[in-house]
Structure 1
């Protein structure tokens, strides 16, 4: 075979391999285009692999940016950083890439967890929707914030009695497996914690009360309920917490759209707040603002949150960069799951 024939065959190998492995064409269609038989196409594909025209590489998942993860770990005190790529969401169907990656990370962290606290928020809805269906009857998902239960009838988790669970001094030996009928779909739909419990096939302990109140007096009245106090008392004893991080653009609470008006957020920003987490407003250098009067919120305290050994924040969006940095500075989170644009901007801000 002369040089011209060799070059022609090499080009044919590359064309056939590209049509098959890159364009996804069927062998019979390639054969028709190249005027070959189907067995000839199969032999050419085998030769292409043998001669290195086609190369397979095994490496870390391509849905994460390991370089950014390592850089963030060097610049922060966080235990883990997970950064999702900015590739099209279509690869995982209706779920966003960030939500998919965040859900997979949370699932890996739940293997030895008995009590899982979730601070419901709209920002976690993509993660919750990407959780794989499971059967974890030994796991209990607990609301960390006041959030009225809702949900569809085919997606209702098993409820545990909060009072019985709160009496148990050892979280890994849960007691009082009494159930009650879950509510129908609420006006705002199911809260994130409830949805995650349903997806995991886990038990669920709600904090069946609103998160935001017009006054401290009305919030204190809700705390007069023993069931609510007991449910909130479980939060600090969680093995793992999942939280969102909010910017000063709006405050959606646990589902209701903007329960704290924009003017109030502007006033809080004037006091130095750059973001909020679990309803606690934080300055850029990590100071938690003391706001005794407004807003009146019902949820886990800062001290209670810090008692949880593993605290994962799932947040994405450049408008949340300052909020994420503040949460890190305040030692409110131990892990961060975010996306590539957010991580890159955060890293630039940390290096400034």
Structure 2
């Protein structure tokens, strides 16, 4: 066999297939030292090109791929191999906080979907006074053991960072009936909140996940959905939520009955907000994130490198 052909075979097995030199030597019926020489010769003769790619190169590639596939502005957060999950989460939140501060301006209205990620983002904000700005709560709240929901702290931290006024939505996330929702939507406070959300400049959120009809925390914390309601979400194909408005795998909301009983925002109003920043960390979020992307809910995506790779996979 031609030496170059032998070198290419050895290189393909070693670099592409990840096989050991001993295994390659056995297959090619040569010594291990011969395999080493073949690999060295392949590099010297230009049959193999080895490049060490810096993190920024990898990140740029991921951002371009996400933008091309999903038509969004992507900000991918580099994470070294072996970075613990909590540090990935904090890095992602810090990058998102920087984007929000960069984007927020005077006279702007920022709508927030409370949750663990937005809570983490609120702890990484830097001060940027924005005259005549507002923070509006996008979805209702629930009970907690202390009687004070953590959305209050989130709103206060955003308000403090930007010197902004706050518009709350002090109604439960889940209501007992569609009729209850219709009544609440007519309340002046809710009408004000809905009007402000419809005119918002920015919307910040993380997708929630639904697994076999069961929404993830914190939606279940302090809320008492029963098995019939879990069954309805499962039957309707709910795979995630955007500010407690449930979506199916195609990003549609109209087929899910539970949306008639939540205080999540009107999807049409959300889609009218110019910048819709979704911040996501964790491979378990990918199905729900994909649904939100298909539904057009995202214009800007902040995502860690590991989750971004899974999203593109």
Task: Please say whether Structure 1 and Structure 2 have the same fold, judged by a TM-score greater than 0.5.
Answer: yes
Deviations 1:121-145 (CA, angstroms, capped at 9, x unpaired) = 2232211111113433421111111
Match of 2:133 in 1: 139
- 2: distance between equivalents of 1:130 and 1:278? 21
Match of 2:268 in 1: 303
Match of 2:155 in 1: 193
- 1:202 shift after superposition: 1.4
Whether the 8 Å CA contact 2:76–2:302 is kept in 1: the answer is yes
Match of 1:109 in 2: 103
Q: Aligned pairs, how many? A: 253
Match of 1:130 in 2: 124
Match of 1:319 in 2: 284
- 1:311 shift after superposition: 0.7
Match of 1:100 in 2: 94
Deviations 1:282-338 (CA, angstroms, capped at 9, x unpaired) = 222232243346661113201111111111111211111011111111111111111
Q: Name which of 179, 192, 211 aligns with 1:230.
A: 192
- 1:95 shift after superposition: 7.9
Deviations 1:188-244 (CA, angstroms, capped at 9, x unpaired) = 334433432233321111122222212223333333421221222211101111122
RMSD between superposed Cα atoms in Å: 3.3
- 1:245 shift after superposition: 0.4
**Greater displacement, 315-324 / 251-260:** 251-260
- Does the residue aligned with 1:212 lie in a helix, a strand or coil? coil
Q: Does 1:341 align with 2:306?
A: yes
- 1: distance between equivalents of 2:55 and 2:134? 30
Match of 1:218 in 2: 180
Whether the 8 Å CA contact 2:279–2:302 is kept in 1: the answer is yes
Unaligned runs of 5+ in 2: 1-53
Aligned CA distance change for structure 1 residues 62 and 293 (closer, same or farther; 3 Å): closer
Q: Matches of residues 37-56 of structure 1 in structure 2 within 5 Å?
A: none
- 1:253 shift after superposition: 7.8
- Does the residue aligned with 2:148 lie in a helix, a strand or coil? coil
Q: Name which of 58, 65, 70 aligns with 2:64.
A: 70
- 2: distance between equivalents of 1:346 and 1:199? 32
Whether the 8 Å CA contact 1:83–1:337 is kept in 2: the answer is yes
- 2: distance between equivalents of 1:148 and 1:195? 19
- 1:83 shift after superposition: 1.1
Aligned CA distance change for structure 1 residues 274 and 260 (closer, same or farther; 3 Å): farther
Aligned CA distance change for structure 1 residues 293 and 274 (closer, same or farther; 3 Å): closer
- 1:75 shift after superposition: 1.2
- 1: distance between equivalents of 2:287 and 2:226? 18
**Greater displacement, 250-259 / 221-230:** 250-259
TM (norm. structure 1) is: 0.63
